[in-house]
């Protein structure tokens, strides 16, 4: 095995493999940094270029690109409060508040450092795990998959600020949204509202971007200030302070690496829950928990370590058994087959050197990507001091086009704006958004696993499986510890997990919306077949009960606020800006219908920069020209996007 490892290393550092690896790293950093793009998109784009290449250079290009997307996705999560990819959602909870405090460079320094360490250690653990991983993977059947997904929901729900109740409601609502479209185990469409667009379910990217990105844009426009709430002159030494934070929390880094690798190797779940599992572990293992959700650097270190270490774990079932652990790994499996590399005994036997070349590619790519980002981290952090309304213009372009990549249908933008409104109400009302996203992601996995489990076992006998019992104990422990943490923060009840003040009236509205959605979702389940309606039914029933309890608590909170002569509805001061910004976005959609995106976006940029931001016309026109070049080069030429069939242009 040592000979195979050495041979794999020499193959990677030989020319041209090392050159292709660094090209892949540069491309991966770009794709991870832009919300809506991802390693999956990058793999799909690059794979055709590898058809005529030798195996090691081809895999170095593809896996080098894929390895670093979870390093650069930190940029959007920290600077903008928008998940760059699904694996960076937990980073937002403390990363964005750090940026608001002027500590963006510190957060990025810590994140990039632990990304390199996590990726490197994950690659090493990948190599060491190859001989012993088979029994571990085979011990996880559908009951264990279901319980592990449930643990992920319990972890993120129990970490929802001072309200475990609201976190669990949001998680159940996310599960409910995942049932839109054809049922996992039947031909019956559910909750599709008569729109064929929804038959395949809600697309993930517009849903996530709407829930997280739109509320941040509204905040930037309403406050008319930069992301950072402190002057630039008061910030110093942030980058190296973040590096020192990473070194000081070395034990957390090691534990998060182990979580990343061994959760990441579970097919279908790794990328969905690994950052939350690491974040939950960081909170529950910390002695001082009050800083989490307000800008604690440990809340950046844990998920960023785990989501990079996860790549090594996700590769194991792919190369060992031909079982892709995620959509991206399914594409990568196709790349292996194109190179005539058959997963299984061959990859662990006669082709073991190529398997180890993937390990070295992962290690080198993570270190190289982190070092490159460290060089520009200070410049990236300056984004937090840029005029907020100008950022709204630029980010709108990225967000709307990122959402468009989902299905290239106008429905993507409708989903974006609808869940943007939902996300805004949840944010201002103190109802956490991360549990909803996680519920949405793991919903189909849980439904399918429960369906198979219920048909394979008598009643609930599967709960007696040893691993299920261990995970069940962890679920109970996480909820109990989360509730105790929430009680310990009772003096801070009106602060949400993202460090935002809670509007009591909007909180009532948010919980009322979730209650109405749960009732609407429950009603049709009584007339559906058992295989189709049971899982939604057991999701919405507790959601209704919990929502009623939460509403009672919020009514009491409103009375307390009113008795203290405090403003129960402070958000009303922002409503004018909210309305104006939505008018701009509706105008963009209308212009797209008439003239297409390549005309509508430059017009939107020019008018918004001139009229909303207040810059001179020459700056507005220069920005518009830059947006057209960006659309043309990236989305038209590189990604070959299907543009909206406008009335006048084709």
Distance CA 400, CA 35 (A): 10
Cβ-proximal residues to 426 (8 Å cutoff; 6+ apart), any chain = 170, 211, 432, 433, 436, 510
523 vs 385: which has the higher pLDDT = 523
Question: Is residue 234 packed enough to be buried (19+ CB in 10 Å), middle (13-18) or exposed (0-12)?
Answer: exposed
- DSSP per-residue string spanning 28-67: HHHHHHSBTB-HHHHHHHHGGGGTTS-HHHHHHHHHHHHH
439 CA to centre of own chain: 12
Kindly report the pTM of this predicted structure: 0.74
pLDDT at 388 over 70: no
pLDDT above 80 (res 318): no
- pLDDT: which is higher, 164 or 384: 164
Looking at residue 515, its pLDDT comes to 93
For residue 182, the 8-state DSSP code is: E
* The pLDDT of residue 553: 85
Between 576 and 41, the higher pLDDT residue? 576
* pLDDT band, very low/low/confident/very high, at 496 (cuts 50, 70, 90): very low
Q: What is the mean pLDDT of residues 65-94?
A: 76
Q: What proportion of the chain, given as a percentage, has pLDDT over 70?
A: 80
Dihedral angle of Cα 29, 31, 34, 35, to the nearest 10 degrees:
-120
Of 425-434, 479-488, 516-525, the least confident: 479-488
Specify the higher pLDDT residue, 27 or 132.
Answer: 27
Q: Over 50: is that where the pLDDT of 141 sits?
A: yes
Q: Is residue 453 a contact partner of residue 128, using CB atoms and an 8 Å limit?
A: no
Half-sphere exposure of 527 (CA within 13 A, CB side): 5
**Does the N-terminal peptide bond of residue 16 adopt cis geometry, omega within 30 degrees of 0?**
yes
Whether the pLDDT of residue 621 is over 90: the answer is yes
| Distance separating alpha carbons of residues 118 and 311, to the nearest angstrom | 10
Q: Which two tokens stand for residue 193?
A: 């509202």
**Residue from 361, 368, 296, 333 nearest 95 by CA:** 296
Q: Say what the pLDDT of residue 444 is.
A: 83
Q: Are 68 and 32 in contact (CB under 8 A)?
A: yes
List, for residues 584-598, the tens digit of each pLDDT value: 999 999 999 998 888
Would you state the pLDDT for residue 485? 56
Strand extents, DSSP E, 457-521: none
**How crowded is residue 460: how many other Cβ atoms within 10 Å of its Cβ?**
10
Beta bridge partners of 35: 37
Q: Is the pLDDT score of 457 beyond 80?
A: yes
Q: Which residues pair with 501 in a beta bridge?
A: 495
pLDDT at residue 617 tops 80: yes
Using an 8 Å Cβ cutoff, are 93 and 498 in contact? Answer: yes
What's the CA gap between 434 and 43, in Å, rounded? 27
Band (495; pLDDT cuts 50, 70, 90) = very low
Does residue 236 surpass a pLDDT of 60?
A: no
Checking if the pLDDT of 372 tops 50, the result is yes
- What is the chain's length? 650
Please provide residue 255's backbone torsions phi and psi, each rounded to the nearest 5 degrees: -65, -40
Average pLDDT over residues 187-205: 86
- In this predicted structure, the answer to whether residue 20 has a pLDDT above a threshold of 90 is no
33 pLDDT exceeds 80? Answer: no
pLDDT of residue 588: 92
Kindly report the average pLDDT of the chain as a whole number.
Answer: 79
Return d(Cα 275, Cα 282) in angstroms, integer: 11
- Supply φ then ψ for residue 417, to 5 degrees: -75, -35
Enter the DSSP assignment of 384: G
**Per-residue model confidence (pLDDT) at position 450:** 85
Residue 501 phi/psi, 5° resolution? -65, 145
Confidence category of residue 473, pLDDT binned at 50, 70, 90: confident
- List, for residues 274-291, the tens digit of each pLDDT value: 777 788 788 877 778 777
More reliable by pLDDT, 603 or 122 = 603
**What pLDDT does residue 216 have?**
77
Residue 345: exposure state from Cβ atoms within 10 A (0-12, 13-18, ≥19): exposed
pLDDT of 586 reads 92
More confident residue, 16 or 82: 16
Confidence of residue 548 (pLDDT cuts 50, 70, 90): very high
- Give the pLDDT band (50/70/90) at residue 231: low
CB atoms within 10 A of CB 593: 14
- What pLDDT does residue 297 have? 84
* C-alpha of 254 from chain center: 22
Which 3 state secondary structure label does DSSP give 576?
Answer: helix
- State pLDDT tens for residues 398-408: 888 878 877 88
| Other Cβ atoms closer than 10 A to 495 | 17
Instruction: Please determine, for residue 415, whether its predicted confidence score (pLDDT) is greater than 60.
Output: yes
| Residue that wins the pLDDT comparison between 270 and 280 | 280
Phi-psi domain of 201 (left: phi exceeds 0; alpha: psi -120 through 50; beta: other): left
Task: Classify each residue of 299-315 as buried b or exposed e, where b means 16 or more C-beta atoms within 10 Å of its C-beta.
Answer: bbbbbbbbbbbbbbbbb
- Digit-coded pLDDT (tens) for 630-639: 888 878 887 7
For residues 424-452, give the mean pLDDT: 82
Q: For residue 1, what pLDDT band results from cuts at 50, 70 and 90?
A: low
> What distance in Å separates the CA atoms of residue 458 and residue 392, rounded to the nearest whole number?
55
Of 431, 158, 423, 404, residue with least CA distance to 277: 158
pLDDT at 271 > cutoff 50: yes
Which band of pLDDT confidence, cut at 50, 70 and 90, is reported for residue 246?
confident
Q: What pLDDT is stored for residue 492 in this prediction?
A: 41
Task: Give the distance, in angstroms, between the CA of residue 582 and the centroid of all CA atoms in the same chain.
Answer: 24
């Amino acid at each position: 095995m040592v000979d195979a490892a050495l041979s794999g290393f020499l193959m990677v550092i030989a020319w041209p493999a090392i050159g292709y690896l660094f090209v892949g790293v540069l491309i991966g950093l770009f794709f991870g940094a832009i919300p809506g793009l991802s390693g999956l998109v990058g793999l799909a784009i690059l794979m055709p270029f590898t058809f005529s290449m030798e195996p090691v250079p081809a895999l170095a290009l593809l896996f080098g690109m894929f390895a670093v997307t979870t390093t650069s996705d930190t940029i959007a999560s920290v600077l903008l409060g928008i998940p760059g990819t699904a694996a960076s959602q937990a980073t937002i909870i403390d990363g964005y508040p750090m940026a608001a405090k002027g500590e963006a460079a510190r957060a990025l320094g810590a994140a990039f450092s632990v990304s390199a360490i996590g990726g490197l250690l994950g690659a090493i653990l990948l190599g060491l795990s190859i001989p012993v991983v088979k029994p571990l993977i085979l011990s996880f059947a559908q009951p264990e998959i279901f319980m592990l997904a449930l643990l992920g929901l319990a972890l993120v729900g129990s970490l929802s600020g001072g309200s475990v109740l609201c976190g669990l409601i949001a998680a159940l609502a996310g599960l409910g949204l995942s049932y839109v479209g054809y049922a996992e185990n039947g031909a019956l469409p559910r909750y599709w509202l008569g729109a064929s667009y929804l038959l395949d379910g809600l697309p993930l990217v517009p849903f996530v971007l709407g829930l997280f990105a739109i509320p941040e844009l509204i905040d930037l426009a309403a406050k008319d200030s930069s992301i950072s709430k402190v002057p630039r002159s008061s910030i110093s030494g942030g980058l190296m302070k973040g590096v020192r934070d990473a070194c000081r929390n070395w034990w957390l880094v090691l534990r998060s690496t182990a979580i990343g690798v061994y959760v990441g190797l579970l097919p279908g779940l790794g990328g969905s829950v690994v950052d939350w599992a690491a974040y939950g572990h960081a909170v529950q293992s910390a002695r001082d928990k009050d800083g989490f959700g307000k800008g604690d650097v440990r809340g950046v270190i844990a998920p960023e370590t785990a989501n990079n270490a996860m790549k090594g774990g996700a590769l194991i079932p792919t190369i060992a058994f031909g079982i892709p652990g995620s959509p991206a790994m399914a594409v990568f499996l196709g790349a292996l087959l194109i190179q005539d590399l058959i997963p299984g005994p061959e990859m662990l036997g006669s082709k073991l050197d190529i398997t180890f070349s993937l390990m070295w590619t992962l290690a080198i790519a993570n270190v190289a990507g982190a070092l490159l980002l460290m060089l520009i981290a200070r410049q990236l952090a300056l984004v937090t001091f840029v005029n907020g309304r100008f950022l709204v213009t630029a980010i709108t372009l990225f967000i709307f086009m990122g959402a468009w990549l989902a299905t290239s249908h106008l429905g993507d933008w409708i989903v974006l704006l609808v869940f943007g409104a939902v996300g805004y109400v949840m944010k201002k009302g103190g109802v956490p958004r991360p549990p909803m996203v996680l519920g949405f992601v793991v919903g189909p996995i849980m439904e399918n696993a429960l369906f198979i489990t219920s048909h394979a076992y008598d009643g609930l006998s599967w709960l007696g499986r040893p691993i299920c019992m261990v995970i069940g104990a962890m679920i109970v422990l996480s909820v109990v510890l989360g509730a105790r943490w929430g009680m310990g923060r009772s003096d801070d009840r009106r602060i949400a997990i993202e460090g935002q003040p809670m509007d009591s009236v909007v909180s009532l509205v948010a919980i009322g919306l979730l209650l109405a959605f749960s009732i609407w979702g429950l009603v049709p389940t009584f007339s559906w077949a058992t295989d189709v309606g049971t899982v939604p039914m057991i999701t919405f029933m507790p959601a209704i009960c919990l929502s009623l309890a939460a509403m009672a608590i919020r009514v009491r909170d409103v009375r307390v606020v009113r008795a203290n002569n405090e403003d129960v509805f402070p958000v009303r001061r922002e409503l004018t800006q909210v309305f104006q910004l939505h008018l701009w976005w509706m105008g963009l959609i209308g212009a797209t219908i008439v003239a297409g995106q390549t005309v509508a976006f430059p017009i939107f940029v020019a008018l918004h920069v001139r009229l909303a931001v207040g810059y001179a016309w020459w700056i507005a026109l220069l920005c518009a020209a830059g947006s057209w070049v960006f659309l043309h080069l990236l989305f038209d030429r590189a990604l070959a996007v299907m543009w909206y069939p406008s009335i006048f242009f084709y």
